[in-house]
Amino acid sequence: MGAPNLVPRLLDYFDRQLDWLRASISELANLNGDIDENAIDRIFDQQRRRDAQYEHFLREYRGLMAEWNSAQDISEADRQVVRERADAAGAVAAELSRHYEQGAVILEREKDRNQRAIQALRRGRNQAGKYRTDSEKNPDFMDRNA
């Protein structure tokens, strides 16, 4: 026999999950192509926090689903309400996934831009190295022609 308060707990779970998903979407929507070092640190911090929150939701979900699957006394009307809320959470989770994909594209472009900048700096350093005098290569060198 299922717990009498299972349906309200499931609905509460899905409501909290929906709020969390929407907040995550809002954070990702603020991601744009102008990313500096502070923004990258902020993105990583937000992602670590979201990962921990996701793990918490997942643990809670597993427990609730074990109860849900073993419950025999839940009415079809209650089951329908829970299914609708779960479907709503699934739709918002799919939207979050799309935002992650867009964020990955933005970060990939930023990575490519930074790699090109590093390559340009390396080329400049190598070219500057070709113009060094022997005195820079060997501190004991004395130019007798000067």
Give the C-alpha separation, 86 to 77, whole Å: 14
Of 51, 61, 73, which Cα lies nearest the Cα of 10?
61
- CB 111 within 8 Å of CB 40: no
Q: Residue 146 class from Cβ within 10 Å (0-12 exposed, 13-18 middle, 19+ buried)? A: exposed
Confidence of residue 1 (pLDDT cuts 50, 70, 90): very low
Give the C-alpha separation, 85 to 91, whole Å: 10
Q: What is the pLDDT of residues 70-122, one digit of tens each?
A: 998 899 999 999 999 999 999 999 999 998 888 888 888 888 888 998 888 88
Q: What is the pLDDT of residues 22-35, one digit of tens each?
A: 999 988 877 665 66
Length of the chain: 146
| Window from 6-10, 11-15, 39-43 with minimum mean pLDDT | 39-43
Instruction: Name residue 1's amino acid.
Output: M
Q: What is the pLDDT of residues 47-62, one digit of tens each?
A: 899 999 999 999 999 9
